[in-house]
Amino acid sequence: MSITLDSQVPVAAPVSAPVKGYWQAVFSRLRRDPVALIAGLILLIILAMAIFAPWLAPQSPYSTSMLNRLKPIGTEGFPLGTDELGRDMLSRLIYGARLSLLIGVMPVVNAFVIGSAIGIVAGFVGGRTNTVIMRIIDVFYAFPAVLLAIALAGALGAGLVNSLFSLTVVFIPPIARVAESVTTQVRNYDYIEAARASGARSLTIIRRHVLGNVLGPIFVYSTSLISVSMILASGLSFLGLGARPPMPEWGLMLNTMRDAIYVNPWVSVLPGVMIFSVSICCNMLSDGLRSAMDVK
Amino acid sequence: MMKLEQNSLGMASTVLPSRDRGGLAQPLLSVRGLHKHFIIQKSGFGQQAKRVHAVDGVDFDVMKGETLGIVGESGCGKSTTARLLMRLLTPDSGELVFDGDTVGARGGISLREMRRQVQMVFQNSYASLNPRMSIEDSIAFGPEVHGLKRTEARKRARKLLDQVGLAPNLYANRYPHELSGGQRQRVNIARALALEPRLMILDEAVSALDKSVEAQVLNLLVDLKQEYGLTYLFISHDLNVVRYISDRVMVMYLGKVAEMGDTEALYEAPAHPYTKALISAMPSMDPNQRTSKAPLAGDPPNPIDLPQGCRFSPRCPVAIDACHIEEPPLAPCGEKHSTACLRAEAVMHDRAQVIATNQELS
């Protein structure tokens, strides 16, 4: 029996995958990550809850009833019980998603944009500019986060916008710090030198070579701040500086229900459960995003 | 003013004109009095600043179409010189003249334009490619920066990939981590070529590759040089590779040029005792020729506190008293051969004496 090695057999040349954009590739990888998918789904549901609150909520979140105070979970007409003023917990949780998401996410988004810009510029330029920028950042960083938020919100006056602003200021230093350290690391790679050697201007280099390599870690770190932001915001609300009663806001609800924890523990922790699930889903999703954005 | 010309890639290029100006006799790159000191400790009370003399007065010319090899041990300023030429580091002093135009001076050539005509390949093939860019985009980046449309730049990138021996439809969309070291270095070469440079600085470009791949890449470099009429500045610590690829060789020691000359002349009759020691340290293919003795004793002196006189004198086997007093200038010692050694004559002709002194030392 003879074996002929036929070199003429046409071998289909393996053609690499059709040109896909970077983000397309990221999403196709993300789709294969069940944890991130579930986390994203839960966040989407909560977001939908916030948007469609008036249609989803069975009752008004403001209507009180002295007769139906602190009903347990599963009461007729109040599936998740009622709070200390007899308001429907389910409706308040649904409406609360609006304010809580806003107050938890907005400062972080703002701080992400501003903080990364500051950090990347400081890290990329380096030298004395870096020192000046980062020492100024350190001054803000030296204050405890809560104290700084309270001081700023107090000085600016009570109100939702002011508390959003003060929380943004609180989150800029840590994000700028992370951005600066990652950028400093990236800027010393040879590919940055090669890009500079090709005559590219700093802004082009930052846009094409630095951003893609630093935004991932900054993004992941920032999403972990969403939970902190929600807690801080509720603290501000508690002091009368942020959301005010009777506005439905999870942090505020958690604070006001504190007294009822011995009477009706399960209902009292519900806002906490919401805060917890939003923050853990954010962390999971950002973790999944980070590994999806990592081409390695 | 820019005229349409057919470039070597067969594409009309208005964006990237390259032109020869001074003719062959004019050096492509002249370096005069290049200095770079790194200050590691600022001066204080009664205390002078501590500085590393990384590059301490280097002069040389790179002629058109030649390959100039730069050799020397670690820390002698080879790579710093390369980075200074690209202005990735700012020199403390010194002048660069690119084809008759002073770089960065009024009436000269702009830094950006010089950088287009001088490209560099780095030693670390992985770190010199953006991990988040497909190799096609990495190669296309340079031309895009200089105003080529993205589709055009990509087309050029594919053509270059083909040229460096990587099938474009197989590799164009891959990411650096999906390639082997040799393939990545080919990509780096393609990236450097994308701007149609006239001078390529190869900073230890093949040192990290294993021997068989190294040979392939070297051959590729030789072919590309011929095809594009390139000039190479080839930095390496591998004397065999430098001998193979270079027309002329420059030996550096502690931030200065020790010796410079045509490759064969320099390898056959080194005029500087340092070069001599380097060459005798080359492993021989002949087992009978193997030596177990180190040709040189000691480490290079601290580049912060340089020795008095010739900087090689503390280690030099043939140093005389005069060597410890004054630093010898680079002086001709033969046809197209110059060295910075007072005892060049003795070293070149009196082989026996050097070996005897070496044996005394060891």
Query: DSSP secondary-structure letter at A210?
Result: I
Q: Are A37 and A31 in contact (CB under 8 A)?
A: yes
- Under the banding of pLDDT at 50, 70 and 90, the label for residue A9 is very low
Query: DSSP secondary-structure letter at B61?
Result: E
Buried (b) or exposed (e) across A126-135, using 16+ Cβ within 10 A?
Answer: eeeebeebbe
Judged by DSSP in three states, A169 sits in: helix
Which pLDDT score, from 0 to 100, does residue B351 have? 52
Q: How many CB atoms lie within 10 A of CB A214?
A: 26
CATH architecture of the domain with residue range B27-37+52-246: 3-Layer(aba) Sandwich (3.40)
B329, with CB counted inside 10 A (0-12, 13-18, 19+), is exposed
Which pLDDT score, from 0 to 100, does residue B295 have? 67
Judged by DSSP in three states, B205 sits in: coil
Which pLDDT score, from 0 to 100, does residue A65 have? 81
**Any B CB within 8 A of A17 CB:** yes
Amino acid at B239: L
Task: Answer with the residue of higher pLDDT: A237 or B360.
Answer: A237
Which pLDDT score, from 0 to 100, does residue A167 have? 93
Task: Determine whether the interchain pair A16/B174 forms a contact, defined as Cβ–Cβ distance below 8 Å.
Answer: yes
Average pLDDT score over chain A: 85
Q: Are A92 and A248 in contact (CB under 8 A)?
A: yes
Which pLDDT score, from 0 to 100, does residue A7 have? 42
Which of B124, B129, B146 minimises the CB distance to A199?
Answer: B146
Task: Answer with the residue of higher pLDDT: B86 or A13.
Answer: B86
Q: How many CB atoms lie within 10 A of CB A175?
A: 25
Tell me the nearest-neighbour CA distance from B132 into chain A, angstroms: 6
Fold entry, domain A42-59+73-293: MetI-like fold (1.10.3720)
Residues belonging to chain A: 296
Q: What is the pTM of this model?
A: 0.79
Q: How many CB atoms lie within 10 A of CB B250?
A: 25
Optimal mutation site among A182, A190, A211, interface B, most CBs of chain B within 10 A: A190
Tell me the nearest-neighbour CA distance from B305 into chain A, angstroms: 26
Region of residue B165 (left: phi > 0; alpha: psi -120 to 50; beta: else): left
Which of B131, B138, B170 minimises the CB distance to A14?
Answer: B170
**Nearest residue of chain A to residue B178 (CA atoms):** A296
Q: Out of A3-7, A22-26, A89-93, B142-146, pick the least confident.
A: A3-7
Which of 171-210 (A) contact B at CB < 8 A? 189-191, 193-201, 204, 208-209
Task: Determine whether the interchain pair B130/A213 forms a contact, defined as Cβ–Cβ distance below 8 Å.
Answer: yes
Both tokens assigned to B336: 């197209």
Mean pLDDT of all residues in B221-230: 92
Tell me the nearest-neighbour CA distance from A181 into chain B, angstroms: 18
Tell me the nearest-neighbour CA distance from B173 into chain A, angstroms: 7
Domain segments of chain B as ranges: 27-37+52-246, 271-361
Tell me the nearest-neighbour CA distance from B223 into chain A, angstroms: 23
Q: What percent of chain B has pLDDT over 70?
A: 88
Q: Which residues of B touch A292 (CB under 8 A)?
A: none
**Nearest residue of chain B to residue A12 (CA atoms):** B170
Is the pLDDT at A173 greater than 90? The verdict is: yes
Q: What is the pLDDT of residues A224-276, one digit of tens each?
A: 788 788 878 878 877 878 877 788 888 888 888 888 888 888 888 898 899 88
Q: Are A179 and A218 in contact (CB under 8 A)?
A: yes
Q: What is the pLDDT of residues A67-122, one digit of tens each?
A: 878 788 877 888 888 888 888 889 999 999 998 888 888 999 999 999 999 999 99
Q: Which residues of A touch B131 (CB under 8 A)?
A: 213, 295-296
CA A93/CA A78 separation, integer angstroms: 12
User: What was the ipTM of the complex prediction?
Assistant: 0.79
- Under the banding of pLDDT at 50, 70 and 90, the label for residue B292 is low
Mean pLDDT of all residues in B114-132: 90
Residues 6+ apart with CB under 8 A from A101: A46, A47, A50, A278
Q: What is the largest CA-CA distance in chain B?
A: 67
Domain segments of chain A as ranges: 42-59+73-293
Query: Helices in chain A by DSSP H: which ranges?
Result: 22-30, 34-51, 53-56, 89-125, 127-142, 145-156, 160-187, 190-197, 202-205, 211-238, 250-256, 265-293
Optimal mutation site among B130, B151, B204, interface A, most CBs of chain A within 10 A: B130
Is the pLDDT at B234 greater than 60? The verdict is: yes
Mean pLDDT of all residues in B301-307: 79
Q: Which residues of A touch B82 (CB under 8 A)?
A: none
Tell me the nearest-neighbour CA distance from B228 into chain A, angstroms: 18
Query: DSSP secondary-structure letter at B119?
Result: E
Optimal mutation site among B141, B201, B204, interface A, most CBs of chain A within 10 A: B141
Residues 6+ apart with CB under 8 A from B320: B342, B343
